[in-house]
Structure 1
Amino acid sequence: MMFHRTALKALLALALTLSLPLAALAGEITVSAAASLTNAFQELKPLFEKASPGATVAFNFAASGPLLKQIEAGAPVDVFASADQKTMDQAAAKNLLAQGTRKDFAANTLVMIAPATPKPEFKTPKDLTAKAVERIAIGSPESVPAGNYTRQSLTADKLFEALQPKFVLGESVRQVLDYVSRGEVQAGFVYKTDALIAGDKVAIVAEMKNHDPVTYPVAVIAASAKKDEAGKFIAFLLSPEAQAVLAKYGFREP
């Protein structure tokens, strides 16, 4: 039985390794980052590489929960950037982080959105209880930080259980955004930065309250063989140049 468990874990780690960008195997640092960071981090890539001669970076974007599972299974990750403190706390509790490297580098706002056309008739989360609203997209609360923040907010307003039968669960905040952008649901909950990325396809209906602060921590992974380069990436995220790019996409300083 022990052999089978060990073999299964090894196969899982191999599968996760192969799912990461192949370029990472050639020497770059691999940064596993929350899906909501996709556009900002892609713009930061050439700026970081210019500021750090000889250093290159490959990204792996997904919901924070699945990213943590990949790291725990042994995927070759050098830096982890989460969309919430809870997931990073779990990584720390499992001794996956290099001591003294954890930093907060950005903050965000959770919003309720709807397809821009036709113009949304609802204005508050409570309005979603109306029979006319049948499908609401949220990130899976157990693995997607935006979904957990949504659950916190709706629970505080005593709306979560009433709305739960209408939920369409997304595997990441970007999948939720896609559902709303394509008009497959009547409402959804994403970060303000995601809504801005969608442009005129979605309308921001309301800002959500009564949830944990949406702050983004980043840390070097303890098993990384490239801690110096990984540390340089984190230092770059905190630089005025990187913070200006993050602000361009709607992120705030933590």
Structure 2
Amino acid sequence: MLIGCSFRAVTSAAVLAFGFAGAGATQAAAEEVVVFAAASLKNALDAVAADFRAATGNTVTISYAGSNALAKQIIEGAPADIFLSAAENWMDEVEKAGLVAEGTRKDLLGNTLVLVAHGKDAAPVEIGQGFDLEGLLGEGKLAMALVDSVPAGQYGKASLESLGIWAAVEPSVAQADNVRAALALVSAGEAPYGIVYATDAAADDNVTVVGTFPAESHPAIVYPGALLKGAADAADSAFYEALSSDAADAKFSAEGFAVLN
């Protein structure tokens, strides 16, 4: 998804009203901020970017995908200014490659892992040790993001392994490129159930959250962010700071994220 804007001057009053520091001077021309972000951030991040655009006139271009794919693209030289990952391990890889601007990495958000069902009348289930997910699925598929590389899939697999049911349901898993693609399979009825983040489920009216996976059954879901070494414009730093503003926190919270910064 691309978010664009028209060029216009920035006033210090508008900048300060949005809630970030360090960009108070009026800019004569708009700058572009290129963000690589985990697909699960889409709704909230689009809203934050729209506010930033309105306040500053700067262009924000956002590429959404699985954190694994984005990290690999950055390491291979893709021109991004900011990376927002849905897991620490993929930010670790970018940092190991020497591409994170020193001192800018921080944990921004948290999330919850849930089981969703197609439609709005699915019965709730109790998810615990030995949960009969195989029986619940019957002949149907369980939609998940790629279980060996995409954070949502990795968290989901870890939880199912912890609960002792991964081996039973593995043959029924339908893997998707990212968590929003997994959600789309359930939303369309192509899979009766799926494992996604709570924030994804809240963004789709065609699914029902039927259960929440115990937090202790998988690694903590943390979204780290960082400025990348290629970030050169004042707008890059300003937008990164804006992600931790009160206005942004409110938008992330409204979508169901836990604000960690």
TM-score of the aligned structures, taking structure 2 as reference length = 0.82
Question: Aligned-pair distance for 1:119?
Answer: 2.4
Query: Residue 159 of structure 1 is aligned with which of 165, 181, 189?
Result: 165
Equivalences for 1:117-128 in 2 at 5 Å? 119-120=122-123, 123-124=126-127, 126-128=131-133
Equivalences for 1:1-254 in 2 at 5 Å? 27-51=31-55, 53-116=56-119, 119-120=122-123, 123-124=126-127, 126-130=131-135, 132-199=138-205, 201-209=206-214, 210-226=217-233, 228-254=234-260
Structure in which a larger fraction of residues adopt helix: 1
Contact 2:113 2:198 in 1 (8 A): yes
Report % sequence identity: 35
Distance 2:43 2:122 in 1: 27
Question: Aligned-pair distance for 1:124?
Answer: 3.2
Q: Which runs of 5+ in 1 are unaligned?
A: 1-19
Structure 2 residue aligned with 1:14: none
AA aligned to 1:128 is L
Length, aligned pairs only: 231
Question: Aligned-pair distance for 1:144?
Answer: 1.1
AA aligned to 1:32 is F
Contact 2:125 2:211 in 1 (8 A): no
AA aligned to 1:164 is E
Contact 1:124 1:205 in 2 (8 A): no
CA RMSD of aligned residues (A): 2.1
Contact 1:139 1:173 in 2 (8 A): yes
Q: Which runs of 5+ in 2 are unaligned?
A: 6-29
Distance 1:46 1:54 in 2: 10
| Structure 2 SS opposite 1:147 | helix
Distance 1:115 1:23 in 2: 34
TM-score of the aligned structures, taking structure 1 as reference length = 0.84
Deviation per CA, 1:85-120: give whole Å up to 9, x if none: 111111111111111011111111110111125524
